[in-house]
């Protein structure tokens, strides 16, 4: 255990709210998963799982609010992303639950546990709890794909690794963030761009395909935890089909909780509508 190093480009005010971050490591099958922790160990635990091509920093605007509201906040870099190892043979979300389950057992949280998964992390969280129902009492899906209801017009992302200059790469990052993650250009501030650019450099699981399937829809009936969901109204994954996603989740989850649509924002709703998202999440977690 050690104090975690925070990205140098974090604004000073945000950095100061996160300075108590502790870096933890868990181990399974010769692979190390890196976790970041905030808050008191005796508090109820909320585990935040980031999206694809991300790291713990997808939640950088949400962690302190949850900690200050009384939770211990655990945020892993999912295997294959950020500071965590890519386990041998790990190619998609189905390979991640054993590492996360073993990691949580090693960290030994006290009190109830809730999982909150954004995008790829939502798929992972659903699969995790289907395989290990004892690990958490609540699941919150945030912009999760895998419902088999994607809108017909596919979001097109551009490649960037082949580009010769950082400036050219940044322009592609801007395009991709506005195509998939954010609804408004004003939301694409320097911090969002810096977080994204740093995260995609450390994505070592490039050929993920399950997000375009109905894997979450097939998994939800097996999840014993209370399931809730928070989505941006303009989520690029579903577009006008978002009401169908809500109806399907409410029907498929054996223990349904709450649905929240955050108006006017896109896929990365924890970042683009921070205050409204935080309020909705705390409401769900306290229910």
Would you kindly state where each structural domain of the chain is located, as residue ranges? 2-286
pLDDT at 207: 79
Q: How many residues does the structure list for the chain?
A: 287
Separation between Cα atoms, residue 139 and residue 178, nearest integer Å: 28
- The radius of gyration computed from the CA coordinates of the chain, to the nearest angstrom, equals 17
Separation between Cα atoms, residue 163 and residue 193, nearest integer Å: 17
CA 42 to chain centre: 24
Task: Please report which residue ranges of 213-268 form alpha helices under DSSP H.
Answer: 215-219, 242-252
3-state secondary structure (DSSP) of residue 142? strand
Torsions phi, psi of 149, nearest 5? -130, 30
pLDDT at 1: 60
Which secondary structure element, helix H or strand E, spans residue 26, and what is its range?
strand 22-28
- CB 77 within 8 Å of CB 83: yes
Separation between Cα atoms, residue 23 and residue 36, nearest integer Å: 5
Check pLDDT > 70 for residue 272.
yes
Q: What is the pLDDT of residues 184-215, one digit of tens each?
A: 999 999 999 999 999 999 999 987 889 989 99
pLDDT at 150: 81
Task: Please report which residue ranges of 205-241 form alpha helices under DSSP H.
Answer: 215-219
Burial class (CB in 10 A: 0-12, 13-18, 19+), 2: exposed
Torsions phi, psi of 227, nearest 5? -110, 130
Lowest mean pLDDT segment, chosen from 52-61, 158-167, 270-279: 158-167
Closest CA to 129 of 254, 251, 219: 219
pLDDT at 152: 63
Q: What is the pLDDT of residues 13-28, one digit of tens each?
A: 999 999 999 999 999 9
Separation between Cα atoms, residue 78 and residue 55, nearest integer Å: 7
283, two tokens = 């409401």
Check pLDDT > 90 for residue 231.
yes
Model pTM above 0.75: yes
pLDDT at 206: 81
Q: What is the pLDDT of residues 75-123, one digit of tens each?
A: 999 999 999 999 999 999 999 999 999 999 999 998 899 999 999 999 9
Residues 6+ apart with CB under 8 A from 199: 53, 54, 55, 57, 58, 81, 82
Task: Tell me the average pLDDT of the chain.
Answer: 95
Order of all β-strands in the sheet with 113-118? 2-3, 22-28, 31-38, 72-76, 45-49, 113-118, 138-142, 226-232, 256-262
- CB 50 within 8 Å of CB 60: no
Mean local confidence (pLDDT), 158-171: 91
Residues 6+ apart with CB under 8 A from 210: 92, 93, 94, 123, 146
- Domain 2-286 CATH superfamily: Alpha/Beta hydrolase fold, catalytic domain (3.40.50.1820)
């Amino acid at each position: 255990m050690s104090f975690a190093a925070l990205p140098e480009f974090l604004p000073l005010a945000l950095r100061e709210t996160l300075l108590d971050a502790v870096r933890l490591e868990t181990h399974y099958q010769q692979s190390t998963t890196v976790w970041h922790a905030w808050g008191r160990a005796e508090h109820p635990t909320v585990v935040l799982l980031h999206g694809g091509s991300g790291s713990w920093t997808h939640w950088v605007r949400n962690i302190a609010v949850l900690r200050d509201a009384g939770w211990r906040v655990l945020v892993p870099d999912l295997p294959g992303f950020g500071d965590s190892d890519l386990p041998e043979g790990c190619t998609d979300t189905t390979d991640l639950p054993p590492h996360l389950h073993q990691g949580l057992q090693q960290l030994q949280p006290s009190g109830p546990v809730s999982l909150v998964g954004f995008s790829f992390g939502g798929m992972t969280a659903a699969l995790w709890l289907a395989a290990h129902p004892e690990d958490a009492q609540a699941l919150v899906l945030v912009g999760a794909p895998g419902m088999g209801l994607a809108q017909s017009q596919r979001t097109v992302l551009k490649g960037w690794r082949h580009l010769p200059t950082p400036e050219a790469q940044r322009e592609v990052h801007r395009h991709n963030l506005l195509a998939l993650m954010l609804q408004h250009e004003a939301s694409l501030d320097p911090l969002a761009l810096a977080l994204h650019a740093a995260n995609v450099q450390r994505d070592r699981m490039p050929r993920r395909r399950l997000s375009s399937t109905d894997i979450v829809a097939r998994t939800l009936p097996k999840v014993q935890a209370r399931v809730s969901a928070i989505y941006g109204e303009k989520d690029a994954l579903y577009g006008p089909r978002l009401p169908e996603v809500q109806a399907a989740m409410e029907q498929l989850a054996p223990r349904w909780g709450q649905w929240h649509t955050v108006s006017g924002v896109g896929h990365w709703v924890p970042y683009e509508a921070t205050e409204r998202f935080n309020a909705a999440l705390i409401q769900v977690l306290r229910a």
